[in-house]
Structure 1
Amino acid sequence: MELSLDDHILKAYGLQKEHLKISQVGSGLINRTYLISSSATTRQYILQNINTEVFRQPQLIADNLRLIAAYLHLEHPDYLFIKPVKTTSDEEMVHLDNEYWRMLPFVANTVSLDVLTTEKQAYEAARQFGKLSRMLDGFEAHKLHATIPDFHNLSLRYDQFALALKKADHKLKVPAEEEIERAIDYRHILEYFNSFQHRQDFPDRVMHHDTKISNVLLNKQNNEGICVIDLDTIMPGKFLSDLGDMIRTYTCAFSENETDLSKIKIRISYFEALIKGYLSEMKSILTETEKELILFSGKYMVYMQALRFLTDFLNGNPYYPIQYPQQNLDRARNQFKLLQELYHNEKELQDIIEENLI
């Protein structure tokens, strides 16, 4: 679908509309993304409109990326880090009519996937996220801004659930009785995390915080990993944010929108592939506490997502877009089933982890 953009945005980057083809691309739900193709130079760019409902201070994103780009240029100059293209006035973003826009270079001969279809894709994606974290191991994470404060704070998410439960209409509580009970029963996941939280060998690291498969570029021909993209949420966090979300999104063949819970199963081979890929980069720097929490990272992130869907349902669905009234409740059921599967397969999954830590 070809679209037009405000001339001021394009001119800020020295581009003339008459030489451009503009198409909306991507499946992301947060930022609007466009592919800009220039017939004058044959170059291509990615232009994004930053969602200020989610990222209330876009300048924090720009500050983080500038610091990380400078560090990687110095310490790992060969790494492909996708940093914003500067405007003609040397700015990292365009601010127009209360909207923020930024341009990124387009990486040719690559693809970002919406769905994992092979173990190799899982391996390569996990390796790329691990590689970025390893390369930033020497970077002081506290120098970065939290672009979404408390994004993966399970204590906060549980408190939000408890408040929603207290205030929810009885008509919403009744169909969610089983899920409410599960949410309370699994609170031990939060308590377990809290018992580790202040250990000295459980550091804050530079984490991506959104490790779905579409946030990695793969080579079009052979699916080998090229680099990580969509770096808006890169900020300080625990390693389990990235690894846990990969376990959550890579190991099941079906998304959280699947309502047939019999389909929600762990693909052991995909789990093994992502663990191999991640540890091929991260094994040398993970602490003993982090190694102990590898499988737990999946439980942590799945439980958190189940809580968030259930909370949104009890609140009347203000956050996650829905196609029918009980969709967020169904999504919560889906994630609780995935959590059950992690426990059901725990021994086999832990054996895979142990083998790859040797």
Structure 2
Amino acid sequence: MQIVNQIAEVVANFNCSAAVDSARNYGSGHINDTFFLKNATSSGPDYLLQRINHHIFTNVEKLTDNMRKVTEHLKCKLAQNGSGDPLKEVMTLIPATDGRFYYQDSVGDYWRMFYFLSDTKSYDVVSTPTQAYEGGKAFGKFQYMLSDIAPGEMFEVIPNFHNIQYRLQQLSEAIANNAAGRVSSVAAELDIVTKYAESMQYFQQPGQVAALPKRVIHNDTKFNNVLLDSNDKAQCVIDLETVMDGYVAYDFGDAIRTIINTSTEDEADLDKIQLNMPLFEAYVKGYLKEAAKFLEATEVDSLMKGALLLPFMQAVRFLTDHINGDVYFKTKFPGHNLQRARAQFRLFLMLNDKASEMQDMILTEMESLSPATN
């Protein structure tokens, strides 16, 4: 079925007035397909329509229930404390005509729809401390507002998503299978994995499992998952499909992975990948301004562990997909996943060299907030 016919069928099954002929690709996500649709009436809101990759998110009903729980919780929190506009600061799911918040079309694809938040923007690369600070505030506030949801209430949409032991096992299986015949060409990358694999398993150590509380977290805190307004002020956290239980350091680490890098996630010229420390400091200030309201000391101590883990783990995932023949992440050219993996390993190694200094910056900022937050 042609995509325009699919979209026409889908739109007819949602409670909306979207103009099908206005559909255009939107965003830069690796997993789902997103389309922007104009409202057929000039006075109405526009829409975002997403085709869910149900090969990755295999339980669409539970996935959608997670998103509904989280968005309703956030909207209630904002309404109760009068601190913001729930319609602008939280994504709004649009129900299908059968009352569910997703639709399965005649060819088996699953879709969901949101109201489009106008006059907002996102960045793949952070360029100013103001942007980094606002991103930190957004994710810190997001975690804080969800901190009263008990662990276990969210469905685990992707089991072992940030479990590095599981990711390393996937890599080992990919090496053993060597499906695309690429293992011999990635010896340097595999050497990095071997050298640091043990130290990266911090969050699976029994002592840390006992000491660190599980929280409801975002699990995919790339900076482009924060929408900023026209003044570069944080407005809304988006892409909520991976919201489930985890450690706050996972969110912190993934955000730092995308904020501190002076280039892109898939930079080919590794010399362009440097650490923008002013952006790190700004993000920490913004994040702790909100997150210090609920974080325990053990969680603060774990933040830099997350900042090391996430680029390492993302590199492992890209490398695994490259070895498997590029079956998971969307790629734009041959070798794209290997290029991504090399960029993330480079970022990890640079962060590892600066980890102690960066942790001191976190602790210093936390101490400066203590009188106001404790």
TM-score by length of 1: 0.90
Task: Tell whether 2:172 aligns with 1:180.
Answer: no
Q: Which moved more, 1:118-127 or 1:129-138?
A: 118-127
Task: Tell whether 2:155 aligns with 1:145.
Answer: yes
Counterparts of 1:11-30 in structure 2, within 5 Å, are 11-15=12-16, 21-30=22-31
Task: Tell whether 2:27 aligns with 1:33.
Answer: no
What does residue 118 of structure 2 align with? 108
Q: Which moved more, 1:312-321 or 1:84-93?
A: 312-321
1:33-64 superposed Cα distances (whole Å, 9 cap, x missing partner) = 22222242432121211111221111112111
Q: Given that residues 31 and 330 in structure 2 are in contact (C-alpha distance below 8 angstroms), is that contact kept between their aligned partners in structure 1?
A: no
Task: Tell whether 2:271 aligns with 1:262.
Answer: yes
What does residue 67 of structure 2 align with? 65
Q: Which moved more, 1:132-141 or 1:187-196?
A: 187-196
Q: Which amino acid aligns with 1:293?
A: S
Q: 1:63 to 1:177 in 2, by over 3 A?
A: same
In the alignment, the residues of structure 2 paired with residue 332 and residue 224 of structure 1 have an alpha-carbon distance, to the nearest angstrom, of 32
What does residue 168 of structure 1 align with? 178
In the alignment, the residues of structure 2 paired with residue 351 and residue 120 of structure 1 have an alpha-carbon distance, to the nearest angstrom, of 22
Q: 1:332 to 1:11 in 2, by over 3 A?
A: closer
1:170 Cα offset (Å)? 11
Q: Which moved more, 1:254-263 or 1:67-76?
A: 67-76
In the alignment, the residues of structure 1 paired with residue 33 and residue 182 of structure 2 have an alpha-carbon distance, to the nearest angstrom, of 33
In the alignment, the residues of structure 1 paired with residue 98 and residue 44 of structure 2 have an alpha-carbon distance, to the nearest angstrom, of 23
Aligned length in residues:
356
Aligned to 1:103, what secondary structure does the other structure show? strand
Q: Given that residues 148 and 233 in structure 1 are in contact (C-alpha distance below 8 angstroms), is that contact kept between their aligned partners in structure 2?
A: yes
In the alignment, the residues of structure 2 paired with residue 185 and residue 297 of structure 1 have an alpha-carbon distance, to the nearest angstrom, of 18
In the alignment, the residues of structure 2 paired with residue 64 and residue 130 of structure 1 have an alpha-carbon distance, to the nearest angstrom, of 20
Of 335, 342, 345, 1:333 maps to 342
Show structure 1 runs of 4+ deviating over 6 A.
Answer: 17-20
1:146 Cα offset (Å)? 1.2
Q: Which amino acid aligns with 1:13?
A: F
Aligned to 2:127, what secondary structure does the other structure show? coil
1:269-292 superposed Cα distances (whole Å, 9 cap, x missing partner) = 111111111111111211121111
Q: Any unmatched runs of 5+ in structure 2? A: 368-374
Of 139, 151, 155, 2:165 maps to 155
1:259 Cα offset (Å)? 2.3
1:237-266 superposed Cα distances (whole Å, 9 cap, x missing partner) = 111221110111111121232222222211
In the alignment, the residues of structure 2 paired with residue 28 and residue 148 of structure 1 have an alpha-carbon distance, to the nearest angstrom, of 17
Q: Which amino acid aligns with 1:32?
A: D
Of 343, 346, 357, 2:352 maps to 343
1:149 Cα offset (Å)? 1.5
Q: Which amino acid aligns with 1:277?
A: G
What does residue 122 of structure 1 align with? 132
Q: 1:55 to 1:7 in 2, by over 3 A?
A: same
Q: Any unmatched runs of 5+ in structure 1? A: none
Q: Which amino acid aligns with 2:279?
A: Y
What does residue 286 of structure 2 align with? 277
1:209-249 superposed Cα distances (whole Å, 9 cap, x missing partner) = 111122111012x1000010111111111112211101111
Of 304, 307, 310, 2:313 maps to 304
1:178 Cα offset (Å)? 2.0
What does residue 371 of structure 2 align with? none
In the alignment, the residues of structure 1 paired with residue 244 and residue 18 of structure 2 have an alpha-carbon distance, to the nearest angstrom, of 35
Q: 1:281 to 1:338 in 2, by over 3 A?
A: same
What does residue 288 of structure 1 align with? 297
Q: Which amino acid aligns with 1:180?
A: L
Q: Which moved more, 1:178-187 or 1:79-88?
A: 79-88
Q: Given that residues 37 and 47 in structure 2 are in contact (C-alpha distance below 8 angstroms), is that contact kept between their aligned partners in structure 1?
A: yes
What does residue 314 of structure 1 align with? 323
1:178-226 superposed Cα distances (whole Å, 9 cap, x missing partner) = 2212111101323433336654441111111111122111012x10000
Q: Given that residues 249 and 307 in structure 2 are in contact (C-alpha distance below 8 angstroms), is that contact kept between their aligned partners in structure 1?
A: yes
Select the structure that is richer in helix. 2
In the alignment, the residues of structure 1 paired with residue 22 and residue 329 of structure 2 have an alpha-carbon distance, to the nearest angstrom, of 32
Q: Which amino acid aligns with 1:308?
A: R
Q: Which moved more, 1:338-347 or 1:196-205?
A: 196-205
Counterparts of 1:75-114 in structure 2, within 5 Å, are 75-77=77-79, 78=84, 79=86, 80-97=89-106, 98-114=108-124
1:300-335 superposed Cα distances (whole Å, 9 cap, x missing partner) = 111111212222233333333445554433332222
In the alignment, the residues of structure 2 paired with residue 274 and residue 59 of structure 1 have an alpha-carbon distance, to the nearest angstrom, of 34
1:153-195 superposed Cα distances (whole Å, 9 cap, x missing partner) = 1110111222333343896343322221211110132343333
1:135 Cα offset (Å)? 0.5
What does residue 44 of structure 1 align with? 46
Matched residues, percent identical? 33
Aligned to 1:34, what secondary structure does the other structure show? strand
